[in-house]
Amino acid sequence: MSAAVPDPIIRVRGLVNRFGKQVVHDGLDLEVRRGEILGVVGGSGSGKSVLMRSIIGLRRPDEGEVEVLGIDALNATEAQRRHIEQHSGVLFQDGALFSSLTVGENVQVPLKEYHRHLPEPLLYELALLKVKLSGLPAEAINKLPSQLSGGMRKRAGLARALAMDPPLLFLDEPTAGLDPIGAAAFDDLVRTLQQALGLTVFLITHDLDTLYAICDRVAVLADKRVIACAPLPEIERLDHPWVREYFHGPRARAAKDTGAPGQTAEASC
């Protein structure tokens, strides 16, 4: 008997995104299951970041439905929108930290937004906890982003994304620009946090090592939609030009040999 498939924490139906005459998504469907790490891949211009922005509310799509945490995100009330925001953490590319604030002050931004009456000493302690949780040394809390390496800035951004203890985490190219050792360490951190905190992770990446090491399923964006959403062994069998080029080259073979493919699961999206 096959295991029950977890309920989706994100459901996208018939998504259409246009920029003038350019159509980026045309009838895109996707479901993200509770408790999984979903890797999102696609060629340049396929709309990976646009999809994420549509889900988290930074862009209103031209057509379609987006449900997040059981809420109709496109028709949400102010209270429902705040609920989604409070229960979602986002790590943008390169951390997107406020350059004039220390790491600790960056982590405190969402805490001050949603918990305005917390005393300063408690805010500091909560920020320090998240800094340590992200794998940074305690002294990093008082440093400015310009004083950190690229890998440390990403961890600081992750600490801020985790500030509100969200069940849903969005990561946009988290290992881009990192050396192989730093990228592997970040992958291990994401998997450890996901298992320890019960997170659902929506992870945009082009890093094959990340896909093979920590992703349970992979969603492939091509032809303006999600052409497949399944564990990697099923994705590899797809007869599609982009999939063949991406997943059957020498880099993919090397990543497959060293990584641990995601758990086998039903492939429907």
Cα–Cα separations (whole angstroms), residue 68 to 15, 138, 153, 231 = 14, 34, 28, 22
* Cα 114 from Cα 102, distance rounded (Å): 19
Q: What are phi and psi of 102, to 5 degrees?
A: -70, 170
Across 229-258, average pLDDT: 83
pLDDT of the residue at 254:
62
Across 9-31, average pLDDT: 97
Q: Which has the higher per-residue pLDDT, 12 or 2?
A: 12
Using a pLDDT cut of 90, give the percent of the chain over it: 81
**In what side-by-side order are the strands of the sheet with 37-42?**
88-91, 168-172, 200-204, 37-42, 217-222, 225-230
* Cα 188 from Cα 241, distance rounded (Å): 31
The distance from CA 212 to its chain's CA centroid, rounded to whole angstroms, is 16
Note the pLDDT tens digit of each residue in 33-74: 999 999 999 998 899 999 999 999 999 999 999 999 999 999
Q: In what helix (H) or strand (E) does residue 128 lie, and over which residues does it extend?
A: helix 120-133
Q: In what helix (H) or strand (E) does residue 88 lie, and over which residues does it extend?
A: strand 88-91
Across 144-160, average pLDDT: 93
Cα–Cα separations (whole angstroms), residue 46 to 38, 212, 256 = 17, 21, 24
174-210 core/surface letters (b: 16 or more CB in 10 A; e: else): bbeebeeebbbbbbebbbebbeeeebbbbbbbbbbbb
> Residue 76 corresponds to which amino acid?
A
Q: How many CA atoms, within 13 angstroms, populate the side-chain half-sphere of residue 118?
A: 16
Q: Is the pLDDT of residue 24 over 70?
A: yes
Considering the chain, what is the average pLDDT of its residues?
91
The pLDDT confidence band at residue 253, using thresholds 50, 70 and 90, is: low
pLDDT of the residue at 258:
63
Determine which of 116-130, 136-150, 163-177, 254-268 has the lowest per-residue pLDDT on average: 254-268
- Residue 34 contacts by C-beta under 8 Å, 6 or more apart in sequence? 6, 7, 8, 9, 200
Using a pLDDT cut of 70, give the percent of the chain over it: 90
pLDDT of the residue at 1:
47
The pLDDT confidence band at residue 197, using thresholds 50, 70 and 90, is: very high
pLDDT of the residue at 56:
95
Q: Is the pLDDT of residue 168 over 60?
A: yes
The pLDDT confidence band at residue 265, using thresholds 50, 70 and 90, is: very low
Closest by Cα among 64, 36, 70, 34 to 50: 64
The pLDDT confidence band at residue 248, using thresholds 50, 70 and 90, is: confident
Across 123-150, average pLDDT: 95
Helices (H), strands (E): how many in the chain?
Answer: 10, 10
Note the pLDDT tens digit of each residue in 74-124: 999 999 999 999 999 999 887 689 999 999 999 999 999 888 888 999 999
pLDDT of the residue at 4:
65
Q: Are strands 8-19 and 168-172 parallel, antiparallel or unpaired?
A: unpaired
* Cα 197 from Cα 220, distance rounded (Å): 26
Contact 191, 213 (CB under 8 A): yes
Q: Is the pLDDT of residue 186 over 80?
A: yes
The pLDDT confidence band at residue 6, using thresholds 50, 70 and 90, is: confident
